[in-house]
Structure 1
């Protein structure tokens, strides 16, 4: 009997101490109420965007209140169900909104005195960041399920046992899926906030993936005009025009660090957007704490906590945190590259009086995976002298940062430690070694630019095989030395043979490194090869490989060139890449062409040119790493400028002319996978410019055959309906716009995306009498084409159908159509 009494007492205590979950609804419509305050004893929590709350101890009365609704108290005797449901009746919300608006207006007007980046002249602080991808083992059932299929409508047939959730729970109970840490020193000089990384390690990698180390998942400040969360930008909740986008509601008042603060909820006026809670200091209107959330294709929560600095009368960052988890979406969604790939969740929801009739697919273990990045700040030094080196580089990682030993990491003050951490490093390192992940990462980096690392040489696989109408099949071999060969000297070159023109082409060059930080090189090279006529090439363009570029298959008109080149390349100018070069070339057009100059006819000619090319990415962010400078955040628009000046009389050069080229690129990605792109190109040439150096607007349509016979490989940014050698210009501009959708899953292997493309171009040709030997037109009446694309239909293959219209359309309607096959390889990078 005594044992039974103790057993019952233990059961009562355990039941009384358990956590309780509840949801708060509107009584009239049954909609959940976000950010309502829930008090139970000394506990105060707020409901999330779905009206849900979690209490650690629900004994005693639970009081739920939110301005604009009548308070309600739920007693313990009424909360014995598995889920507490609370229904509140609406009152007049005018007073709540008016007071909240007044408090927010004060916070907006006092941003300069509350935002540390505006209120403080300078500061320094240390930080510790922990980024992980994991799951809570307690949320996973871990059962072994039976898998059935229906052979007939009413007969269920057993197929197999599915133990994947069971094994996943065992795995995630021991370790995380991904884990990295870094220790940094931040410095702010009144204008620039820079991160200097002192220590960095990443499970499974001897050398961290620097792009992940520099990943900016949330805005540092909550006061900005724009707020960034998971690479998507929103109007800030304290922006100067915030009342245009958000509604505000006073929720409650409480004390943080001994100071009275008001909890104010904000909601987007439009259907989609961010919402959250701002805790505003009663006296200063500064933000003492904040929770900002987006719920949609993915569920993102950003949290901020601040310490009050009495001497400066400002709230200073203490902790920032962002959690990215699966949201409600009926298609797969990938974020952070391919770090998280969530399975789809389809439902047919019907809400009535707060009672969900939602039908969902079975939840799998992978549904509970989430990414979490948390940063703890310490040792702030305020209003001290700060001098920042290389301010245009947002983050700089020291060479020794990736070489820190275990003693260093044991000395680092850890936060939010988890018993799974150390096991994660051991296991991930073991997995990485078994699968050669470090080598695969290096291979992937080089592969994107067309190289395969082989010891001290990176083999350029684009030189191995190619095809065009002039050379036919082209076979070759080329490459460049890497840092294993030398960190100060590089040698690059290639050799190739065309089976149709039976000619050997080759190039050989070498360069000497001038500076590590600026990645400056000085070099010389000699090339004997062919090139498409009237094509514009920005010499600063990284040779990033297109796994498949079909346009060269269709090119028929080339010129041969033999050139000596001396150059200097550098990244010394902030956020730019530049190349300055001198070149002497012998040009021989490989088609019937004569250029006339002052009565003199030239079938071939020599050119001495000086050229400067500049790639400027003012909105991108960069990190300086032991491997060099990398672009960690691709900002748009991007600009490319190039100026070329040919001078006659130098080394017997024949012609004098100048060329000025411009390119502007813009891209915008959306969380659902949609993308908007724009490309503006322009060029201006003056002087005695031969056709080989003019502009052709990148055509990609053969001249012969009907529409089906002209089905050829498509290009990336070419005019698909423009005939080869149809138009030439000495000055022109073109604009291309493309909108692509997210991928639609038709089956496991068929997941196409759809796109709409439109292109236009204008131009003219000065001194057309100088060009003899073939017919051509000009773009003075404009050129227009639009099309529909179905990309990634199967294994990267897709189709596009395009139509030309306007003054330059062709007489036969069928000739205005073009159908192209495209190919895209998604590397997830």
Structure 2
């Protein structure tokens, strides 16, 4: 996977054709004219890029071509046999298009206003009740061997003016040899798209990926560009931008009428748009071809130019019966650009440098700089206002079980053109390389490591269980794991054991699970455990397992309780856009600190809890993908909601107490086009009945009760109160609110680019029946707890620093006791 990603990220685009000419279009002042129209006699056309450059390719010989640009005189250029590059200068004219002249107003703005007004009438997903179509997509990572010199370089090393050693660099030569025979990567896909009830679903009928027997679902789900050109936020390679035809687009973009161009026999306005902000990569630029009659988009070129030059092209077919332009073909390209800024891709998983010019030396271009990625999709078999119901409409993508097992007859049926020899060799060569180098096996290992496991035969070793530290157990050394598909696809066994060097006690857990339904990831599980857990901690059973090299907050915890007993549960995703766990458990609880629970005059130093619990997370706005191995969340969207209800079972299996607990959490994130992000977290809990302090709430403290600020210096938690001391507050009901606002990374030096985050947290709480808790001294949150802080994350190698201040009713008398300084460490795995 890493090899694939690296190969796709160092790009320069170069196209291959039988006849090809190149050139640049400037005005008389030698200023480039972006998106000028280049047209041949047989109506083969292209446009110049933002630098005025163009490449015109054709399968037939080009004798001449016309260059046009609004406000400039057209020019016809005759092609010479021995000339490949044409510098063209256009002369400005005062003649304008009379039909679009509006006094005292930019004509392009008048057109765009009408596009925005009529866009619901022209958007297929708004105008049509339903439709369906099939799409053939082919994605390749390749390079034009003609653009690579491919020479073998050599350099000599000297010592005392005597030649010592000759170094030979043949990497470019080898790369050119490879790319002349095959592509670096290639994948094909045939999908059926269905739209109804305002929802669009993709069903993947067939998929084929060079070098892999089993499809990599992450690549299949990766959204290169928006399907609809009318979305308010247009997506291009994992980043969303304000669409130039969104309702508020006129405040963000400048527009210019370039030309009038016929498309599919209908006249269109050719309008250039560019984001008003001067900051690079702050917005889209490109060209919209607007139908002069109904103001619909007939073609669109959307582009971002920076370290990567990314473009998405949408072509449409006019449907007279429906009076609408319907999507026909889309093209997506990534090209290596020129920029001195670094760029992060896939959430920071991959970072690479821009073109940096040192004082006396420019970075030498390597062969991989000439690599590019190209994805082309062709729509066919289109039906409008269909009546067939959509199966599983809550899914965004569904992959058929046999999608990766299709024969060549299937592919030949849907391919627009037969695979050329180079594409055929790509499958053969990459499949053999993958088998020889065990690429799929290594990819599988990488996936599991990210989730905290390492596969050893039929068992996945749990990396989280190997070593950790807290103030009660000391160093916790352990070993654990879970069986994988090599053991069984329908049955699993998991277990762990651990030993604390400080408390000198062994802990363990063992359990098993049976798969009831693969499509909904429904399992029934049962476990027995004897372990310890932090007191008054809130654990949502459906929260995703997060693997960290270290978990900073538990290091300083010293108050735990021991639990020993069994639990059985059913976990499922059977309800759309949810994951749920229904569990029954019985545990013997023993606090490992000075505590007694007083129930009607009887003091308990240990007790039995028999409970049932329902935990569910609901993500109504996320996209989900159904794969042959189960259901996965492909795009996490907000808000998302988590509910958990726990009820003790009186008079069942010696249960001692009667109580109920309701826990709730909602999360929201908003990302901005300028790289900033705001996140909100609202969490609360309500416990009623006879509940020991071990199972109440501590609202996530993370501060040591030490004399000086330096003595309290520890690692910061994720959503914890950094100025609240451990065991300072306990509550039977509480509400917690947190807001974070992160700014785009600040460039101080090339390798020092911290991320500034402002944080504010607050909580309120109450303790019912305080007389029941004998032993610990604590306060309540009736008046609230407030803290704010500044985090400077990722200063260097993932390390950062934060400062936090405690204020409000629970502020401490000494000023310095209200201040906490924390170290942060963020390992960004792109998840």
Q: For residue 110 of structure 1, give the secondary structure of its aligned residue in structure 2.
A: helix
Contact 2:303/2:311 (CA < 8 Å) preserved in 1? yes
The answer on whether the counterparts of 1:236 and 1:242 sit within 8 Å (CA) in structure 2 is: yes
Distance 1:430 1:171 in 2: 14
Change (3 A) 1:728 1:416: farther
Q: Which residue does the alignment assign to 1:786?
A: 789
Question: Structure 1 residues 751, 432: CA separation in 2 closer, same or farther (over 3 Å shift)?
Answer: farther
Of the three residues 363, 368, 371, the one matched with 2:370 is 368
Maintained 8 Å contact 1:548/1:824: no
Alignment partners' CA distance in 2, 1:490 and 1:590 = 33
Query: Is 1:766 matched with 2:774?
Result: no
5+ long unaligned stretches in structure 1: 1-16, 152-156, 349-358
Among 282, 304, 324, the residue aligned to 2:292: 282
Residue 333 of structure 2 is aligned to residue 326 of structure 1 = no
Post-superposition CA distance 1:527-549 (Å, at most 9, x none): 22110011111100122312221
Equivalence for 1:14: none
Distance of 1:61 and 1:475 partners within structure 2: 74
SS of 1:396 mapped into structure 2: strand
CA distance in structure 2 between the aligned counterparts of 1:31 and 1:100, rounded to whole angstroms: 21
1:545 aligns with 547
Structure 2 distance, partners of 1:210, 1:555, is 40
- From the superposition, tell whether residues 95 and 508 of structure 1 become closer, same or farther in structure 2 (CA, over 3 Å): same
SS of alignment partner, residue 50 of structure 2:
coil
Given the alignment, which residue of 86, 99, 122 partners 2:130? Answer: 122
The CA distance in 2 between the partners of 1:19 and 1:99, in whole Å, is 33
Q: Which moved more, 1:78-87 or 1:390-399?
A: 78-87
Q: Deviations over 1:653-682 (max 9, x none)?
A: 333333222223344667998765443333
Q: What is the CA-CA distance between 1:212 and the residue it aligns to?
A: 0.6
Residue of structure 1 in register with 2:173 after alignment:
166
1:95 has 2:101 as partner: yes
Give the deviation of 1:81 after TM superposition. 10
Look up the match of 2:627.
Answer: 625
**Contact 2:72–2:90 (CA<8 Å) still a contact in 1?**
no
Of 302, 312, 322, 1:302 maps to 312
Partner SS for 1:171: helix
* Structure 1 residue corresponding to 2:355, chosen from 345, 349, 357: 345
Give RMSD over aligned pairs: 3.7
Give the conservation status (yes or no) of the 8 Å contact 2:347–2:829. no
The answer to whether 1:54 aligns with 2:36 is no
SS for the counterpart of 1:434 is helix
Deviation at 1:35, TM superposition (A): 2.5
Pairing 1:583-598 to 2, within 5 Å after superposition: 583-598=585-600
Q: Which residue of 1 aligns with 2:6?
A: none
Structure 2: unaligned runs, 5 residues or longer: 1-18
The count of aligned residue pairs is 795
The 5 A counterparts of 1:22-37 are 22-25=24-27, 27=29, 32-37=32-37
Q: 1:183 to 1:743 in 2, by over 3 A?
A: farther
Distance across 1 between alignment mates of 2:718 and 2:650:
36
CA distance in 1, matches of 2:109, 2:431: 53
Rate the CA distance shift 1:450–1:487 in 2: closer, same or farther, 3 A: same
The whole-number CA distance in structure 2 between the counterparts of 1:306 and 1:261 is 13
Q: Distance in 1 between matches of 2:377 and 2:77?
A: 39
**Any residues of structure 2 matched to 1:132-531 within 5 Å, and which?**
132-145=140-153, 162-271=169-278, 272-336=282-346, 342-346=352-356, 361-415=363-417, 417-531=419-533
| Cα offsets for 1:627-656 (capped at 9, x unmatched) | 211222222333222222335444343333
User: In the superposition, relative to structure 1, how do residues 270 and 514 fare at CA in structure 2: closer, same or farther (>3 Å)?
Assistant: same
When structure 1 is superposed on structure 2, of 211-220 and 118-127 the one drifting more is 118-127
Q: Distance in 2 between matches of 1:410 and 1:395?
A: 24
TM-score norm. by structure 1 comes to 0.87
Report the counterpart of residue 8 of structure 2 in structure 1: none
In 2, distance between residues paired with 1:821 and 1:743? Answer: 18
What are the Cα deviations for residues 583-617 of structure 1, in whole angstroms up to 9, with x where unaligned? 22222111111233344433323223222111122
Are the counterparts in 1 of residues 519 and 629 from structure 2 also a CA contact under 8 Å?
Answer: no
Distance in 2 of aligned mates of 1:740 and 1:101 = 32
**Deviates further, 333-342 or 226-235:** 333-342
Return closer, same or farther for 1:63/1:135 CA change in 2, 3 Å cut-off.
Answer: closer
Q: CA deviation at 1:303?
A: 0.6
Q: Which residue of 2 aligns with 1:777?
A: 779
Q: How far 1:733 moved relative to its partner?
A: 0.8
Contact 1:396 1:623 in 2 (8 A): yes
Offset at residue 221 of structure 1 (A): 1.2
Deviation at 1:77, TM superposition (A): 11
Matched with 1:692 is 694
Q: 1:173 to 1:678 in 2, by over 3 A?
A: farther
The equivalent of 2:11 in structure 1 is none
Deviation sequence 1:71-95 (CA, Å, 0-9, x none): 3648669998955253654859893
Which moved further from structure 2: 642-651 or 313-322?
642-651
Say which SS state the counterpart of residue 19 (structure 1) adopts: strand
Residue 43 of structure 1 and its aligned partner are, at CA, apart by: 5.8
* Distance in 1, Cα, partners of 2:539 & 2:91: 66
> In the superposition, relative to structure 1, how do residues 455 and 607 fare at CA in structure 2: closer, same or farther (>3 Å)?
same
Q: Cα–Cα, structure 1 residues 23 and 346, in superposed 2: closer, same or farther, change >3 Å?
A: farther
Instruction: Indicate the residue corresponding to 1:65 in structure 2.
Output: 69
Q: CA deviation at 1:785?
A: 3.7
Q: Give me the whole-angstrom Cα distance separating, in 2, the residues matched to 1:452 and 1:483.
A: 14
Aligned to 1:734: 737
Task: Give me the TM-score of the superposition, normalised by structure 2.
Answer: 0.86
Question: Residues of 2 paired with 1:391 and 1:370: CA distance?
Answer: 35
Deviations 1:320-354 (A, max 9, x none): 11112233432332434689754312469xxxxxx
Any idea what SS the aligned residue of 2:101 has? Answer: helix
Q: Distance in 1 between matches of 2:708 and 2:412?
A: 72
In structure 1, C-alpha distance between the alignment counterparts of 2:414 and 2:572, rounded to whole Å: 37
- Residues 232 and 670, structure 1, Cα contact 8 Å, conserved in 2: no
In 2, distance between residues paired with 1:101 and 1:26?
26
Within 1, Cα distance between the matches of 2:156 and 2:677? 39
2:762–2:784 CA contact under 8 A, matched in 1? no
Deviation at 1:302, TM superposition (A): 0.8
Alpha-carbon distance in 2 for matches of 1:22, 1:233: 31
Matched-pair contact (CA < 8 Å) for 2:412–2:418: no
Structure 1 counterpart SS, 2:634: strand
* In structure 2, distance between residues paired with 1:678 and 1:329: 34
- Contact kept in structure 1, 2:349 and 2:829, CA below 8 Å: no
Q: CA deviation at 1:698?
A: 1.7
CA, structure 1 residues 560+170, in 2 after alignment: closer, same or farther (shift >3 Å)? Answer: same
Does the CA-based 8 Å contact 1:281-1:288 persist in structure 2? Answer: yes
